[in-house]
Amino acid sequence: MDVGTLGTVKAIDPRDLIETRAQVVLGNTYHLMLRPGAQIVAEAGGLHAFMNWHGPILTDSGGFQVFSLAKMRTITEDGCRFNSHIDGHEVFLGPKESMAIQRELASDIAMVFDECLPYPCERTRAEKSVEQTLRWARVSKDQPHAPGQLVFGIVQGGVYDDLRRHCAEELVKMDFDGYAIGGVSVGEPEEFMYQAVDASIPWLPEDKPRYVMGLGVMHQMAECVARGVDMFDCVIPTRLARHGTALTRKGNYAIKAARWAHDLSPVDETCDCYCCRNFTRSYIRHLFASGEILGLRLLTIHNVRVLNKFMEDMRVAIENGTFFDFKEQIRQDTMPQ
């Protein structure tokens, strides 16, 4: 799922998303609440109409941003009071407020308001946080939703397997439409990320979507699919593109490097995106060296397509019964040596 935090996937437009075969775009409750405001989006007819993207939209609850961006915050039973990272004004966001905003945004999938734990985190804090997340999940579930809007619960628990299991089992009792595994990709070593997934997945129903939040590295996604995960999101393709890094199945590389100055081959000879069909490494490097915005746009198109094509090929491998061979090849090709 491609991340469009502020109602836009950075540097590209909805036509590009369609051509890259994007399936779902993410918006963020926290950021859209602060700017432009949920009421303005609602007046436009909801987030689909506001950003002119008519495919599915998932909105994050804003919980992660409250705990990662707000330097000054006070947590209460009802939510969190904090100062806006934009202008410092005081804001309150909790499960009732988050779900009300997501109802106005009219996303297809709304995420419950939760507390995302940092890494590392002491067990006593993790225990309290999980219970708070479960109370907020119940409140989120009970709020009115936009017509047809699905609601996903979020499993937390840090690196503590028993807390992950407890959180997952309690969320399943609430009968959400899907389940996310949160609190990963927050700076923990890779093995702890897999541990968090392994501690959560067995307790989540197989007939509902299972989503690892914030994950966009190819070999890690393949490993998680092997564990039973269905959905992912990450800013990696757009963020790396803005810094001049091209994604490929054989590893990433810096397009700004001098070695590409005379290279008239595409960014990736195996890629079918608009950028690779029409432009060369030499030209994309020139755009970056010249500070031209087009370079960011073209490389973003490429990176977004690479991950969407990766997911397409993974689905085909599953259907063909060759998934584990596919996973091993990805591991060999993309993992740092």
Residue 138 corresponds to which tokens in the numbers above?
A: 């119940």
Q: How far is CA 282 from the centre of its chain?
A: 31
- DSSP assignment of 87-104: T--EEEE-HHHHHHHHHH
Map residue 182 onto helix, strand or coil: coil
Active site residue 263: no
Angle between helices 323-334 and 218-226 (to 10 degrees): 150
Of all helices (H) and strands (E), which one includes residue 324? Answer: helix 323-334
What span, in angstroms and rounded, lies between the C-alpha atoms of 306 and 179?
Answer: 26
Give the C-alpha distances (Å, rounded to integers) separating 194 from 191, 272, 316, 330. 5, 32, 24, 17
Cβ burial, residue 8 (10 Å; 0-12/13-18/19+): middle
Q: How far is CA 125 from the centre of its chain?
A: 25
What are the φ and ψ backbone dihedral angles of 192, each rounded to 5 degrees?
Answer: -75, -30
What are the φ and ψ backbone dihedral angles of 74, each rounded to 5 degrees?
Answer: -130, 120
Contacts of 335 (CB under 8 A, 6+ apart): 219
Query: Out of 16, 60, 114, 268, which one is annotated catalytic?
Result: 60
Active site residue 13: no
Residue 214 corresponds to which tokens in the numbers above?
A: 């914030």
Query: Does the bond joining 120 to the residue before it have cis omega, within 30 degrees of 0?
Result: yes
Query: Out of 2, 16, 114, 233, which one is annotated catalytic?
Result: 233
What are the φ and ψ backbone dihedral angles of 25, each rounded to 5 degrees?
Answer: -115, 140
What span, in angstroms and rounded, lies between the C-alpha atoms of 309 and 273?
Answer: 10
Query: What is the residue whose two structure tokens read 């990433």?
Result: 252
Catalytic positions are 60, 233
